Structure 1
Amino acid sequence: MTDTTATATPLRLPEFIDNRRPNRFQLGTVLLCGLVMFLDGFDTQAINYMAPAITEDWGLSKSTMGPIFSAALVGLMIGYLLIAPLSDKFGHKRLVVVGVLTFSLSTLASVWVQNPEQLLAMRFVTGIGLGAATPSTIALTAEYSPKRVRASLVLAIYCGFSLGFVAANYAADWLIPAYGWRSVFVAGAVAPLALVVILLWRLPESISHLIRRGQTSAAYALCRRIDPTLLHVDAPHIETESAGPGKRVRLRQLVSGGQLLGTVLLWLVFSINLAMFYGLQSWMPTILSERGYSASTLATAASMTTVGGIVIAFVIGPAMDRIGSFGALGTLYLTGCGFLTLMSVALGAPVWVVLIAIFLIGCSVSGGQKSVIALAAVYYPEEVRSTGVGWALGIGRVGGIAGPLLVGALLTAGWSHQQLFLTLAVPSALCGLIVLYLGRRAKAGDGFRSP
């Protein structure tokens, strides 16, 4: 007999999704979100590969590119902190579509820029678009994923961001010599413009958002796409543990009452992790060059950090789903202390030893960056998820900006490379201890919940 749901029996979220295996509709939604993250990563990284050609074409000094790089970061912070919370009013789908459309059009406009000031303005707008789309992309992935695979699927789409980094490298290497640096902007604009059409057609809206806006019939139609055996009813009844119909979600929900300490500590982990990530990404080539390694080794080392972050996602994601998000991520950060210590003794060793050490650092630092985003996605309830993830990403950017400055200051002060890596083990340990503490608070019922 076909399993159906009668009119009198209400659906309850998120149990309705959690109790079912993800079907083609849900996996297709995750795939679309992954494509958004891929193009986000492509656009973010492409400008770095274009910089040498731009400076040569316009006769600029290297320092002139600094504000252009920073403009996108400032735009990202605005998108994360100010635009992402608007998902409560306009919905996740609209923010994803508008964000992708914004960064694709600004990237297209960059094809015709004639001076650094115009390029800086376009990168600023691009950053806003990227920052607006990312939190809602993560929130949609988390909402349409059953709890038992939620962290894995969020990590999977964020691996798309890293793959975009790699694709930008190959695209720039092929396009710039043949067609000039502006051709990379063309590629970075056409692909997301095409994706916008697909997003408008296939990307679903948040079910919980529709319920909060009183659009229960539209929400029920999406539930039927998750479970086609549901009966068609004229007046569906859907219950949710999140905000009820008509209730607005406020930013203060992240920092009110018992949520304050947990949110601040999560922001601290984001900031420390991003400080380590960007500090190492910025200074690792210089460190290896000073140790006498070849230029080809430097290029390989740069990719090993990204590869390590992608590979560990296939381990840490299922671990977060099966043994608990806090325990798995806390263990990864604490293990990273050993990897950083290994790097302090591997300097000067054969190339293969150094590359293995850098790969392992990528597992803990780059992998930790992806995993803490997955942690935020399962830590915050649906009604504040986009705002929670957006603010964590935005506050974390402060660490991303400070990281290269702090590492540079230590090296300028005369610290040896060995001392630097041993010192970096301390913030990695701190992240691990904070995450484990957050897990204890969540199990005790303090803050939001225990994933």
Structure 2
Amino acid sequence: MITLFDGLDMFMVSYTAPYMRDELSLTTIEIGNIFSIGTFGMVVGGLAFTYVGDRIGRRPTIVFAGLAFGFLTLVTGFATTYHALLALRFLDGLAIGGMLPLAWALNIEFLPKKVRATAIAFVMMGFSFGSAMAGPLTNWLAPIHGWEGVYFAGGGATLVCAVIIAIWLPESPRFLVTKALNPALTVKTLKRLDKDIDVELGDTFLLGDEGVRKGGLKLGDLFEGRLKYVTPLMWLGYGFSALGIFFKSTWGPIVLEAMDISRVTAANVSALSGVLGAVAGVVLMKAAERFGLLLVALCTALIVPMALLIGFEVIRGPLFLPFIVVQSMLVGACHTAIISQLSIFYPTAIRASAGGCASAVGKIGGIVGPLLGAWLLTAGVPAVRTYAVGAICPAILVICVIAIYNIMRRPQAELEPRGAIAPAE
């Protein structure tokens, strides 16, 4: 539930930006900076909050993050200057960025391995639905109560949700056992989850499915053997995928409005694309787990001609908006699917760290995307042409995915003159 508000508060700015621009006389560059500073805050927050969560616990860190971004979202409604918005979006991004990886960790630590990918998919769906809800919420409140009312409502609802999880959310038993910091809380949590369980203070708890890796991750581990080709390609592809998705998510409503589509319709189209992309992303992610990279490449390849057809105004008339919805849906779905493929080529011992490194690199694309949009629109590029420019992102992702597929098909000996970490099955 809290991840829904995470997505809502993060992308609310995409839909309220036109109202902010009109009221505060913001330039296109300033709007782009507001978009990007929030993503930068997510990068820093993702690192800081997960560090804290690994030390004091998932539950208290999630509760604090929820209270923090709820409060900061609400306070954003009182901002009256560009610099105030910039500061608040960065601080809000810190807490928002810290929430999602902690929610992933807490969910998968409650579940068996075979359903953990599905759990992450539903966590991501909650985030995506929340980001899509920002459109209808803005259409409902902004014309009557101004853009400020959207932040008051979103922030207030988030605070209520944070209080609920503070009361009901349990700590991860796996975390408690691993850290062995509070045996009494471990017993209390286990009995809360299963009142019939036979445990008591003084019992010794062990995790039977945790492998042991001697020593920490070395950066060179990500480039051993064939991984020296796979890792850069994965980072490049995911980075451009993130660039495309953040460009779409932040500038989407403004670009549509610049094409003489009404503000309300632009918000609804972007929101509908987000909902469909969330659902399609889960379906494609599950299919990709079964059928592999080529399915992701095929679906991503469809985006390129669609973006070019939109960008060069080949598609017009009644098909224009439905075409944009489908194209935007595929952008979101393929980005979700590639997330599921980030770390499958790495050994278990370094898989989580490999995925984390790829995600961090991807956030660079998330920062660049909004800035690129601001530069294009300020330079006088017609709004519709940004779709054609955006076709570069899925094109590069397709090339990277196909290259990785071909590398993984080749015998290990052809790629490695010396011993290396074997890829995961």
Instruction: Tell me, yes or no, whether TM beats 0.5.
Output: yes
Select 1:57's aligned residue among 9, 13, 23.
23
Aligned runs of 1:235-250 on 2, under 5 Å? 235-242=203-210
1:281-340, CA deviations, whole angstroms, 9 ceiling, x for partnerless residues? 5677788789x785487556534532331231342244356x2xxx44551233220342
**Secondary structure of the equivalent of 1:88?**
helix
Select 1:427's aligned residue among 377, 381, 396.
396
Select 2:299's aligned residue among 335, 357, 363.
335
Q: Match of 1:6? A: none
Q: Is the 8 A contact 1:79 1:130 kept in 2?
A: yes
Q: Is the 8 A contact 1:111 1:185 kept in 2?
A: yes
Q: 1:208 to 1:301 in 2, by over 3 A?
A: same
Q: Match of 1:231? A: 198
Q: Is the 8 A contact 1:242 1:381 kept in 2?
A: no
C-alpha separation between the residues in 2 aligned to 1:229 and 1:307? 40
Number of aligned pairs? 406
C-alpha separation between the residues in 1 aligned to 2:90 and 2:4? 19
Q: Match of 1:141? A: 107
Q: 1:422 to 1:193 in 2, by over 3 A?
A: closer
User: What letter is aligned with 1:158?
Assistant: M
Q: Is the 8 A contact 2:44 2:94 kept in 1?
A: yes
C-alpha separation between the residues in 2 aligned to 1:352 and 1:315? 28
CA RMSD of aligned residues (A): 4.2
Consecutive unaligned residues in structure 1, runs of 5 or more: 1-34
Q: Match of 2:416? A: none
C-alpha separation between the residues in 1 aligned to 2:301 and 2:141? 40
Aligned runs of 1:45-444 on 2, under 5 Å? 45-215=11-181, 218-219=185-186, 222=189, 230-233=197-200, 234-242=202-210, 253=217, 255-258=219-222, 261=227, 265-280=233-248, 294-295=261-262, 301-320=269-288, 323=290, 327-328=291-292, 330-345=294-309, 347-351=313-317, 353-375=319-341, 391-403=357-369, 420=389, 423-433=392-402, 436=405
Q: Match of 1:19? A: none
User: What letter is aligned with 1:39?
Assistant: F
Aligned runs of 1:12-23 on 2, under 5 Å? none
Q: CA deviation at 1:128?
A: 0.6
C-alpha separation between the residues in 2 aligned to 1:55 and 1:344? 29
Q: CA deviation at 1:101?
A: 1.8
Q: CA deviation at 1:352?
A: 5.3
Q: Is the 8 A contact 1:259 1:446 kept in 2?
A: no
TM-score of the two chains, using structure 1 as the length reference:
0.73
Q: Match of 1:36? A: 2
**Secondary structure of the equivalent of 1:113?**
coil
**Secondary structure of the equivalent of 1:41?**
helix
Q: 1:363 to 1:150 in 2, by over 3 A?
A: farther
**Secondary structure of the equivalent of 1:231?**
coil
C-alpha separation between the residues in 2 aligned to 1:421 and 1:55? 24
Q: 1:425 to 1:264 in 2, by over 3 A?
A: closer
C-alpha separation between the residues in 2 aligned to 1:420 and 1:66? 17
Q: Is the 8 A contact 1:37 1:160 kept in 2?
A: yes
Consecutive unaligned residues in structure 2, runs of 5 or more: 414-419
**Secondary structure of the equivalent of 1:257?**
helix
**Secondary structure of the equivalent of 2:207?**
strand
